[in-house]
Structure 1
Amino acid sequence: MKYGTIGTSWITDAMIEGANYAGCMRLGAVYSRDLARAAAFGAKHGCSAVFDDLHAMAGYDGIGAVYIASPNKLHYEHCKLFLEQGKHVLCEKPLVVSPEEERALRHMAEERGLVFLEAMMMMHHPERDAIKKALSGIGTITTARLDFSQLSSKYPQLKAGGMPNIFNTQLGAGALMDMGCYCFYPAVEWLGMPTEVYAHAGHVHTGADGWLSCLLVYDQEIHANITLSKTGQGFAGSEILGDEGSVVIDFVVELRGVWLRRKGGEQERIIRDYTRTELMAAEAQDFCDYIAGEKRGEYRHMQRVAKEVCALNHWVKERAGV
């Protein structure tokens, strides 16, 4: 299947590499607002069909799908355009900025028989079921700590008084929108939806949230503490605690460094580490399989979790005043 791309950043390079590794997707078109940039990016990846007109690429018969990696605020507009033109959509996180937008796009895709998927590679991890199995063996879960704190490469520019895109509220950026889903997905996937949410954000001079903490409370008296930061580098990782042991995760974004540690001190590695390319290849392969009508139950599950994560993200956004 041939696909087009929106965006020419490193994440698009990584997605193309993953899709090539999977072998089921081939780059068929490139879009950038700057045609010269689109041409240079296309040449790097062996693609000659380049566009600076988004509507023209959406109507291009040479592709059947699109990978969207534009600024957060533009996701709804771009997804809607390509779904209207009959293209399957794989969109970078966050899928959209509100539950209403998610619902509208999901219904549009369903009506047209199209696949509409958030690009969340941890959900396509080849061994993700092993983590669920390990969680079932740590007894009664009471507490979870999920963290994604990564000092932004644009932080020096921010400190100098600039306004890099990832700290620009007009583009829907900030710690919650850029990073929250990496903790919300495992929270929803492993623990379900909370009944109460408490949240507080810290803001940088642009008005964007640079760091955020929230507490998710569940009916079962489980407490999940989530911390996000673009202004500091975290090293502690994440952990889900039960009365018989804990599951420890060094880097939740890629489910890397995952261990089962029992209360008696024994420990075992649950899954091996996968490269980003391998994870994005698994994501691309699942996307192709969903389009082919395979793994229907899994696709419905992915849509349900995406819907709940979008709702949770909005809930936290309201509580934190972001």
Structure 2
Amino acid sequence: MKLAILGAGMIVKDFLSMIHDIPEIELTAIMGTPNDLERMQEFQKENQIGKIYTDIAECLKDPEVDTVYVALPNFLHYKFAKLALEAGKNVICEKPFTLNTFQLEELSNLAQTKKLILVEAITNQYLNNYRSLKSDLSKLGSLKVIECNYSQYSHRYDAFLAGTILPAFDPKKGGGALMDLNIYNIHFIVGLLGAPKTVHYYANVSRGIDTSGVLVLEYPEVKVVCIAAKDCSAEVTSTIQGNLGSIVVDEPTNVLDNYEIHLNGESAQVVDNKAHSHRMYEEFVTFNKMIEQHDLIEAQKRMKHSLDVMKVVDSALSDSGIKLG
């Protein structure tokens, strides 16, 4: 993979901290705004990135780039992923993939037409610990109740209360607790159980955006509650309960460093099968393999999951009266 990174924010810094452990991925270019230039120059020096661009058109014309990693703010994902696909580049896009299902279906159709790889960078779906947890669900017997809580007080919330609307709380820019935090819980659950039967979102809405909320997903035999908050905090934990025991994840659902199995009448068992200490490693190993092998079938399988997640997002936003973009 010859990669161009779009963006110069914290997610890019985090990505660069582990990408050198995958030598098959060549950091061909990085693109940002002129205001990002100093930071991009630092990234280039520290990480041997080939070229710096401040013009997306010039970046996408680069014949040495075959794949683009869209690591920009939420509301820019659709626009820049579409530009990259139109330029004939494979696309890895940060979560949330887009702001709605209509946008994602358009990108998916475009990728299929051009026979390009288009995937969402959503860590939990690629973690060995997630696959292991999914396999261990059978030990719990009949699943009954699942609760996921990913709440952390945002330092941007004080500015929001003071009247300064930053992207994290801006409905026009795809902000809010659902898109920032609960999206990980949705991926976690849909990856385990598939698409839910019904969706309800009970959100605390201020100035048109959800600062926190409770998402209820109903399955034929299982009831799921996904909590996320940016206006308050709590212990970040997820519990999957069955009639024979439970599985507990005492971390965010995008990290899943390990988990505990608590079977009725038995001592807790800690499970850790991770391949790497960094949560993004396993997904990018998979993306590189997918692109090297031009595995369109695997890409479509991953797209089906992302579309199921985005339909949950659509239903949640509609249920709570929130309009993004």
Q: Is there any run of 5+ residues in structure 2 with no aligned partner, and where?
A: none
Partner residue in 1 for 2:270: 269
Give aligned pairs, total.
319
Measure, in 2, the Cα distance between the counterparts of 1:146 and 1:14: 24
In the other structure, the counterpart of 2:152 is 150
Pair 98,236 (structure 1): closer, same or farther in 2 beyond 3 Å: closer
Per-residue displacement from partner, 1:158-180 (whole Å, max 9, x unpaired)? 33332222112221111111122
**Stretch moving more, 268-277 or 162-171:** 268-277
Q: How does 1:83-94 map to 2 (within 5 A)?
A: 83-94=85-96
* Correspondence list, 1:293-312, <5 A: 293=293, 298-312=298-312
2:252 counterpart of 1:255: no
Counterpart Cα distance in 1 of 2:17 and 2:110 = 29
If the length of structure 2 is used for normalisation, what is the TM-score?
0.92
Letter in 2 for 1:292: E
Q: 2:109 aligns with which of 107, 110, 127?
A: 107
Tell me which amino acid in the other structure corresponds to 1:14: D
2:179 aligned residue (172, 177, 180): 177
Does structure 1 conserve the Cα–Cα contact (< 8 Å) formed by 2:117 and 2:296? no
SS of the residue corresponding to residue 18 of structure 2 reads: helix
Question: 1:27-47 CA distances to partner (integer Å, 9 max, x unpaired)?
Answer: 111111116334344334332
Equivalent position amino acid for 1:268 in 2: Q
Aligned-pair CA distance for 1:61: 1.2
In structure 2, how many angstroms separate the alpha carbons of the residues matched to 1:127 and 1:295?
Answer: 23
Please list every run of 5 or more consecutive structure 1 residues that lacks an aligned counterpart in the other structure: none
SS at match of 1:311: helix
What's the CA shift string for 1:111-160, capped at 9, x where partnerless?
22211111111111123221112111101111110121122232333333
Matching of residue 291 in structure 1 with residue 313 in structure 2:
no
Instruction: Select 1:202's aligned residue among 204, 213, 216.
Output: 204
Question: Which range moved further: 155-164 or 282-291?
Answer: 155-164
Three-state SS of the structure 2 residue aligned to 1:231 is coil
Structure 2 residue identity aligned to 1:72: N
Q: How far, CA to CA, are the matches of 1:318 and 1:42 in structure 2?
A: 42
Q: Per the alignment, do residues 21 and 194 of structure 1 end up closer, same or farther by CA in structure 2, a change over 3 Å counting? A: same
Alpha carbons of structure 1 residues 28 and 103: separation in structure 2 relative to 1, 3 Å = same
Asked whether the 8 Å contact 2:6–2:72 carries over to 1, the reply is yes
User: Aligned to 1:127, what secondary structure does the other structure show?
Assistant: helix
Residues 248-284 of structure 1, C-alpha deviations (whole Å, 9 max, x = no match)? 111122113411101214210122567663x312111
Q: Distance in 1 between matches of 2:116 and 2:320?
A: 35
Instruction: Tell me the amino acid that sits aligned with residue 261 of structure 1.
Output: H
Query: Under a length normalisation based on structure 1, what TM-score does the superposition of the two structures give?
Result: 0.93
Aligned-residue CA RMSD (Å): 1.9
Instruction: Confirm or deny: 8 A CA contact 1:201 1:212 kept in the other structure.
Output: yes
8 A contact 1:290–1:299 mirrored in 2:
yes
The residue that corresponds to 1:214 in the other structure is 215
1:1-322 correspondence to structure 2 within 5 Å:
1-34=1-34, 36-37=37-38, 38-204=40-206, 206-220=207-221, 222-251=222-251, 252-272=253-273, 277=278, 279-293=279-293, 298-322=298-322
Q: Which amino acid aligns with 1:6?
A: L
1: CA distance between counterparts of 2:122 and 2:28?
22
For residues 26 and 274 of structure 1, the distance between their equivalents in structure 2, rounded to whole angstroms, comes to 21
Letter in 2 for 1:214: L
Mean CA deviation greater in 43-52 or 257-266: 43-52
Q: Give the secondary structure class of the aligned counterpart of 1:136.
A: helix
Q: Deviations over 1:269-312 (max 9, x none)?
A: 122567663x3121111001111227666444322111101111
Counterpart secondary structure, 1:232: coil
Code of the residue aligned with 2:246 in structure 1: it is S
Whichever residue aligns with residue 164 of structure 2, its letter is: G
Q: Is the 8 A contact 1:201 1:321 kept in 2?
A: no
Displacement over 3 Å in runs of 4+: 37-41, 272-276, 294-300
8 A contact 2:152–2:231 mirrored in 1:
yes
Distance 1:107 1:255, change over 3 A: same
